[in-house]
């Protein structure tokens, strides 16, 4: 029996570019969510009939979406997965994605607000909120339409991703009713979740609507127990929902419907990652980076240039390491690869400038004729990132707060000599990796500098032992398992319950 699986997410598995002649070429969309869902879907094989619904994010995506819409039966293709791209009006998309999802909900769940100044919920935000409603409706309409076009023998499962689409589960349930012959609806949040006191920064009606939307799902998933707990606490405190612990999960009853809230940590497909790292393009970068670093120790960090990733404090910690422990001067190189993110937002542009400025200061302060202490790159280069992981003696992953964090897992899997991991206690990955990482408070620069020193000075056999344990933990929850477990737990027969 074939199951029908509909995925809905803002960013999809393919993104388009215009060629010089105006033609369109697609390539895989970036980010941990895409990797997890796409690899998880690939593992389902022919037993699943999948469509991935996503938003057009650029002019080239819009052109591709229009082309597909005018060709009956055509769908875009993301790594073999049929894709339906939604051409949401640009102003609606901009307000929903940039103003509500990224500037408000992302800041909320990562505790990023500078509260004397932000947030400010006035009339303009009410307009943004209307756009967020319309954006979620566009996805719900598309899900309902897809659900009706092919009646599945093995049931329908709808997998809705992330904070962009908190309202969509309720809207999908309302649209489908019993018409689809039964569907299981899941929502998965790849971010942390804010604790109730912080969540209450949102205007009352919007805070309630987001929770109400998610509680129309049959399952709500998170990467770590902390985020799931914060979510159920919000449901109880803000909606007055009934919350009962059920083993490692929770059952939340609201408006007569039960939502299971569960934890599914996402790890990496270690064999596939190692295989990719053996390719020629990665090996060429390994050679070049090793030549540049010589026989010095290598500290690696790889992030989006994202406020929550805490890159500036990480660089400050490296600076403090060099200032307070002069024995490392000339003996270590820090590779910091910070690829561009959300440049439509002023805060992100300013943050990138700050990171570049701090980087320059470090090289000016400590660099010598034959030693560049910091190699800071702000361009995306996936093979180079894999090469850096292969060479790492130390991985630095110090987010202010992070839903999971895949780099903390990829580093130990790929490092050829075994790396030590300096990890923020506020990353979701700390829940699984704590025993073998050096945990730090991401706000404590001195503690982070001390941890870098301990990591650099760690005896080889201890470093190798810890890296092997970290890699084994990361490999235990590959995308196939992460997605397979969610689908298996999502019974497709409870629609309308």
Minimum distance, C-beta of residue 309 to ligand F6P, in the bound complex (Å)? 10
Closer CB to ligand F6P, 97 or 254, in the complex: 97
Q: How many residues bind ligand F6P (CB under 6 A)?
A: 12
Distance CA 337, CA 304 (A): 8
Residue nearest to ligand F6P (CB): 31
Closer CB to ligand F6P, 113 or 371, in the complex: 113
Q: Which of 17, 18, 28, 31 binds ligand F6P (CB under 6 A)?
A: 31
Of 155-214, binders to ligand F6P (CB under 6 A) are 162, 190-191
Closer CB to ligand F6P, 188 or 199, in the complex: 188
Please tell me whether residue 32 binds ligand F6P under the rule CB under 6 A: yes
Please tell me whether residue 403 binds ligand F6P under the rule CB under 6 A: yes
Q: Which of 341, 385, 409, 424 binds ligand F6P (CB under 6 A)?
A: 341
Please tell me whether residue 342 binds ligand F6P under the rule CB under 6 A: yes
Closer CB to ligand F6P, 301 or 319, in the complex: 301
Minimum distance, C-beta of residue 364 to ligand F6P, in the bound complex (Å)? 32
Radius of gyration of the chain (CA): 23
Please give the helix or strand (H or E) that residue 106 lies within, else none: helix 106-109
Please give the helix or strand (H or E) that residue 408 lies within, else none: helix 407-414
What ranges in 262-309 are assigned the alpha helix state H?
Answer: 270-277, 280-293
Return the SS3 of 12.
coil
- Give the Cα-Cα-Cα angle 37, 40, 42 (nearest 5 degrees): 110
Please tell me whether residue 219 binds ligand F6P under the rule CB under 6 A: no
**Long-range interactions of 321-326: CB distance < 8 A, separation 24+:** 321/449, 321/452, 321/453, 322/362, 322/365, 322/366, 322/373, 324/449, 325/449, 325/453
Tokens of residue 32, six digits: 């941990």
Q: Taking the CB of residue 400, how many other CB atoms lie within 10 A of it?
A: 19
Minimum distance, C-beta of residue 97 to ligand F6P, in the bound complex (Å)? 7
Residue linked to tokens 């570019």 = 17
Please tell me whether residue 401 binds ligand F6P under the rule CB under 6 A: no
Closer CB to ligand F6P, 341 or 448, in the complex: 341
Q: Taking the CB of residue 486, how many other CB atoms lie within 10 A of it?
A: 19
Residues in Cβ contact with 100 at an 8 Å cutoff, skipping those fewer than 6 apart: 128, 129, 131, 132
Closer CB to ligand F6P, 305 or 448, in the complex: 305
Please tell me whether residue 33 binds ligand F6P under the rule CB under 6 A: yes
Please give the helix or strand (H or E) that residue 128 lies within, else none: helix 123-149
Contact window for ligand F6P (CB under 6 A) among 31-39, 61-69, 344-352, 420-428 = 31-39
Closer CB to ligand F6P, 37 or 414, in the complex: 37
Closer CB to ligand F6P, 162 or 450, in the complex: 162
Please tell me whether residue 426 binds ligand F6P under the rule CB under 6 A: no
Contact window for ligand F6P (CB under 6 A) among 30-38, 75-83, 391-399, 476-484 = 30-38
Distance CA 130, CA 125 (A): 9
Minimum distance, C-beta of residue 34 to ligand F6P, in the bound complex (Å)? 6
Closer CB to ligand F6P, 33 or 388, in the complex: 33
Residues in Cβ contact with 224 at an 8 Å cutoff, skipping those fewer than 6 apart: 192, 263, 265, 403, 404, 428, 429, 431
Please tell me whether residue 109 binds ligand F6P under the rule CB under 6 A: no
Of 9-28, binders to ligand F6P (CB under 6 A) are 10-11
277 upstream amide cis, omega within 30 of 0 = no
Contact 220, 235 (CB under 8 A): no
Closer CB to ligand F6P, 3 or 10, in the complex: 10
Please tell me whether residue 108 binds ligand F6P under the rule CB under 6 A: no
Minimum distance, C-beta of residue 306 to ligand F6P, in the bound complex (Å)? 8
Closer CB to ligand F6P, 341 or 415, in the complex: 341
What ranges in 150-224 are assigned the alpha helix state H?
Answer: 168-176, 196-199, 204-214
- Paired residues of 301 in beta bridges: 336
Minimum distance, C-beta of residue 197 to ligand F6P, in the bound complex (Å)? 23
Distance CA 417, CA 467 (A): 9
Distance CA 303, CA 288 (A): 21
Closer CB to ligand F6P, 55 or 202, in the complex: 55
Please tell me whether residue 484 binds ligand F6P under the rule CB under 6 A: no
Minimum distance, C-beta of residue 456 to ligand F6P, in the bound complex (Å)? 29
Closer CB to ligand F6P, 341 or 398, in the complex: 341
- 189, 192, 197, 198: CA torsion to nearest 10: -100
Tokens of residue 396, six digits: 């630095």
Minimum distance, C-beta of residue 136 to ligand F6P, in the bound complex (Å)? 15
- 60, 64, 65, 67: CA torsion to nearest 10: 140
Task: Tell me how many helices (H) and strands (E) the chain has.
Answer: 19, 18
Contact 75, 68 (CB under 8 A): yes
Minimum distance, C-beta of residue 10 to ligand F6P, in the bound complex (Å)? 6
- Chain residues that interact with ligand F6P, rule: CB under 6 A: 10-11, 31-33, 102, 162, 190-191, 341-342, 403
């Amino acid at each position: 029996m074939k199951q029908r699986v509909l995925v809905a997410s803002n960013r999809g598995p393919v993104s388009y570019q215009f060629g010089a002649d105006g033609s369109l070429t697609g390539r895989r969309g970036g980010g941990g969510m895409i990797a997890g869902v796409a690899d998880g879907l690939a593992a389902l094989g022919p037993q699943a009939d999948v469509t991935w619904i996503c938003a057009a994010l650029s002019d080239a995506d819009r052109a591709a979406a229009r082309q597909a819409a005018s060709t009956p039966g055509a769908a875009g293709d993301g790594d073999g997965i049929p894709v339906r791209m939604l051409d949401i009006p640009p102003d609606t998309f901009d307000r929903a994605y940039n103003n509500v999802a990224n500037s408000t909900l992302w800041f909320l769940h990562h505790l990023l607000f500078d509260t004397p100044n932000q947030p400010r919920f006035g009339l303009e935000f009410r307009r943004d909120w209307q756009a967020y409603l319309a954006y979620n409706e566009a996805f719900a309409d598309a899900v309902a339409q897809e659900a009706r076009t092919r009646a599945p023998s093995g049931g329908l499962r709808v997998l809705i991703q992330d904070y962009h689409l908190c309202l969509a589960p309720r809207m999908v349930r309302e649209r489908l009713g019993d018409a689809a012959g039964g569907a299981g609806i899941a929502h998965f949040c790849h971010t942390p979740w804010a604790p109730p006191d912080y969540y209450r920064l949102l205007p009352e009606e919007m805070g309630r609507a987001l929770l109400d939307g998610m509680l129309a799902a049959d399952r709500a998933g998170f990467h770590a127990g902390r985020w799931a707990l914060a979510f159920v606490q919000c449901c109880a405190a803000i909606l007055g929902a009934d919350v009962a612990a059920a083993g490692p999960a929770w059952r939340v009853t609201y408006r007569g419907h039960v939502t299971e809230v569960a934890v599914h940590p996402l790890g990496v497909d270690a064999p596939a990652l190692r295989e990719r790292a053996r390719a020629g393009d990665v090996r060429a970068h390994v050679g070049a980076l090793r030549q540049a670093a010589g026989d010095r120790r290598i500290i690696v960090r790889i992030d989006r240039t994202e406020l929550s990733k805490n890159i500036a404090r990480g660089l400050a910690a490296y600076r403090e390491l060099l200032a307070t422990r002069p024995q490392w001067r000339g003996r270590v190189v820090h590779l910091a690869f910070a690829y561009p993110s959300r440049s439509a937002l002023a805060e992100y542009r300013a943050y990138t400038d700050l990171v570049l400025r701090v980087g320059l200061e470090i090289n000016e302060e400590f660099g010598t004729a034959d030693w560049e202490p910091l190699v800071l790159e702000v361009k995306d280069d996936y093979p180079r990132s894999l090469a850096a992981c292969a060479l790492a003696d130390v991985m630095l992953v110090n987010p202010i707060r992070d839903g999971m964090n895949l780099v903390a897992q990829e580093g130990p899997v790929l490092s050829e000599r075994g790396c030590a991991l300096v990890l923020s206690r506020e990353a979701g990955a700390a829940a699984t990796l704590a025993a073998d990482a050096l945990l730090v408070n991401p706000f404590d620069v001195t503690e982070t500098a001390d941890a870098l020193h301990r990591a650099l000075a760690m005896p080889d056999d201890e470093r190798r032992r810890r890296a092997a344990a970290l890699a084994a933990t990361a490999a235990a929850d590959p995308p196939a398992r992460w997605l397979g477990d969610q689908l298996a737990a999502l019974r497709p027969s409870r629609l309308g319950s």
